[in-house]
Amino acid sequence: MIIANWKSNIIDVNNWYTNFNNFYKSMSDSAIIGVAPPTIYLDKLVTNLGKGDSEIKVGVQDVDHLYGSRTGTISVDMIIETGCRFAIIGHSERREIFHEDNNLIKEKLKSLNKRAMVVLCVGETKEENEKGLTKDILKNQLEIVNKLELDKEFIVAYEPVWAIGSGLTPEPKDINEIHKYIKDVVQSNSANNLSPKILYGGSVTDKNAESFFREKFVDGALIGGASLDGTTFAKIVNIFNTIKKL
Ligand code: 13P
């Protein structure tokens, strides 16, 4: 799966979609493509794509696990009603800027599980990486799946915090090793021993995507900056489709 995370950027949705379509080459076993726009563009994007039958699935960048008197938030029921198929949770920007902790992210996971596809983001900071703590940090962030019966579409996105928007990335072989580790941790701790798909995120571009997609345990990508342009995003999806058969 290849997912665009537009974060809080202004996008001309019609223009993006036209550019994407001009460059995207659909194949018989094409990757699942997702776009997570700012929530204010959700309806526009769903209308552009048509509910359900488009090759592009629409999702949200985050969601509230509750509903009702919760000023400023969007509930799981609302995103499903709008036509969203997936939700990103636990993004490092949510953890850092909005102080979201494992307890809250677990509530979000439970409220979405088996209703919409979950993309759980995990990743270590530069300091943690330099201290050799990456696997400990990931194990801690992944504790929220313990004893949970996970939906078979549950996805983890490995996004090293130091790679996001920085132009820096780990070596592809190191990403591969971490992805294998994440798969093993989720498989041994979830109630149904699910082996999830793992996406890589952090400074993925149309120039470096191939080096990641060639790795065995890289099942796709979660893309920020390079997804803001429909042409570049389509090129990355095309690269994925020529390398991996899903
Ligand atoms: P960049 O692709 O801009 O590094 O962002 C990655 C990311 O945070 C996607 O969720």
Q: What is the pLDDT of residues 92-118, one digit of tens each?
A: 999 999 999 999 999 999 999 999 999
Per the CB < 8 A criterion, the answer to whether 89 and 113 are in contact is no
The single-letter code of the amino acid at 111 is: S
pTM for the predicted model, two decimal places: 0.96
- Residue 91 is a catalytic residue: yes
100 lines ligand 1 (CB under 6 A): no
Atom of ligand 1 nearest to the CA of 204: 2
Give the domain CATH number at 139: 3.20.20.70
Distance 24 CA to ligand 1 centre (A): 21
Residue 244: per-residue pLDDT: 85
Give percent above pLDDT 70 in the chain: 97
Catalytic residue from among 100, 159, 179, 215: 159
Interval 6-59: pLDDT, tens: 999 999 998 999 999 999 998 877 888 999 999 999 988 988 776 555 689 999
Say whether pLDDT at 246 is over 80: no
165 lines ligand 1 (CB under 6 A): yes
Per the CB < 8 A criterion, the answer to whether 89 and 118 are in contact is yes
Using pLDDT thresholds of 50, 70 and 90, give the confidence band for residue 72.
very high
What range defines the domain where residue 120 resides? 2-245
If one counts every other C-beta atom within 10 angstroms of the C-beta of residue 8, the result is 8
Say whether pLDDT at 166 is over 90: yes
Atom of ligand 1 nearest to the CA of 226: 2
Using pLDDT thresholds of 50, 70 and 90, give the confidence band for residue 165.
very high
Tally of structural domains, the chain:
1
Say which DSSP state 115 is in: T
Atom of ligand 1 nearest to the CA of 121: 10
Alpha helices in the chain (DSSP H): 13-23, 42-49, 76-82, 92-97, 102-112, 126-130, 134-141, 172-189, 209-213, 230-243
Per the CB < 8 A criterion, the answer to whether 221 and 240 are in contact is yes
11 lines ligand 1 (CB under 6 A): no
Residue 47: per-residue pLDDT: 84
The C-alpha atoms of residue 208 and residue 56 are separated, in whole angstroms, by 23
Using pLDDT thresholds of 50, 70 and 90, give the confidence band for residue 155.
very high
